[in-house]
Amino acid sequence: MGRIAYVNGRFVPHAEAFVHIEDRGYQLADAVYEVWALFGGKLADAEGHFARLERSLAELQIDMPMSRAALTTVLREAVRRNRVQEGLVYLQISRGVAPRDHAFPHPPVRPAVVITVSRVDRVATEARAAKGVGVVTTPENRWGRCDIKTVGLLPNALAKQKARVAGAAEAWFVDELGFVTEGASSNAWIVDRDGVLRTRDTNANILRGVTRLSLLDVIRDAGLKVEERPFTPEEALEAKEAFITGAGTIVLPVVSVDGKPVGGGVVGPVASRLRRLYIERAKERAI
């Protein structure tokens, strides 16, 4: 059985899943998205992703296309039809289809909803996490509302491509003061020289990562010291460990920045432990 997508109320074969050319997401990036990790076919960190989705939509003045309960049912049905146990669910909601005009259509049109489900090979991702990955740095050049999870991801895509060309897995944006903001599709962390976990505060222009937020709980429960304070790439190079978080990467150890080793170039104990604790907790709470 092939992959199935959800497009505006219908489940269709993936190869036949199309949106209209005047979808405002396609033409103007006037759309938001969410990504849930799936553990055992269940949505991880469900509440956090729904809350952020509602917030992103509200910031763009787009109505929720259906209730949270109805959306949960549709997401689960998409997962069921794709028979995926370990994977990711992608949801995109655009303002809808309307004749091209920068200002919002008036009266409003129905938001357009797309859902896809993809499989993740957890054996391969665990092997990757055990080895760690490299990141490269790149100047922060995104807009001033990175807290909204919009599909306006061109700078992120260019940064990710820069990382790929350099043989790295992620790019860290660095602001004009020399501090890391976040990754192209992840939040950035270090375990500093004093053994304190550090990640940038969310007053800055970054996405409020749901995995980041859950991991803060895990860290506090484990009795580890954590500070929401920015760090520079130089501090990352001097740190004991570094890692990134996201629904796709979970907790992924970083062993180099711009080709220079972090933590002796090997995966450290804190990131590995946090990955394990996060996964245990996410599995228990997945719905």
Q: Which residues bind ligand PLP (CB under 6 A)?
A: 35, 156, 182, 185-187, 207, 209-212, 245-247
Q: Which is nearer to ligand PLP, 62 or 247 (CB)?
A: 247
- C-alpha triplet 181, 276, 259: angle, nearest 5°: 45
Point out which residues pair with 228 in neighbouring strands: 199
- What token pair was written down for 188? 């950035």
Give me the sign of the Cα torsion angle 37, 43, 44, 50.
Answer: positive
Q: Is the peptide bond before 107 cis (omega within 30 degrees of 0)?
A: yes
Q: Which is nearer to ligand PLP, 20 or 128 (CB)?
A: 128
Rg (the chain; Cα; Å):
19
Calculate helix-pair angle for 269-285, 210-221, nearest 10 degrees: 110
Q: Which is nearer to ligand PLP, 82 or 199 (CB)?
A: 199
- At its nearest, how many Å lie between ligand PLP and the CB of residue 58? 17
Considering the candidates 42, 131, 149, 225, report the single residue annotated as catalytic. Answer: 149
Dump strand ranges (E) for 74-186.
Answer: 87-94, 112-119, 133-139, 170-174, 180-183
Question: Could you give the CA distance from residue 145 to residue 204 in angstroms, rounded to a whole number?
Answer: 10
- At its nearest, how many Å lie between ligand PLP and the CB of residue 50? 12
Q: Which is nearer to ligand PLP, 198 or 212 (CB)?
A: 212
- At its nearest, how many Å lie between ligand PLP and the CB of residue 277? 16
Q: Which is nearer to ligand PLP, 43 or 207 (CB)?
A: 207
- At its nearest, how many Å lie between ligand PLP and the CB of residue 211? 3
- What token pair was written down for 187? 């939040």
The candidate with the shortest Cα–Cα distance to 215, out of 267, 277, 146, is: 277
Question: Could you give the CA distance from residue 57 to residue 31 in angstroms, rounded to a whole number?
Answer: 8
- At its nearest, how many Å lie between ligand PLP and the CB of residue 185? 4
CA torsion, points 68, 74, 76, 80, in degrees to nearest 10?
A: 180
42 is a catalytic site residue: no
Catalytic residues: 149
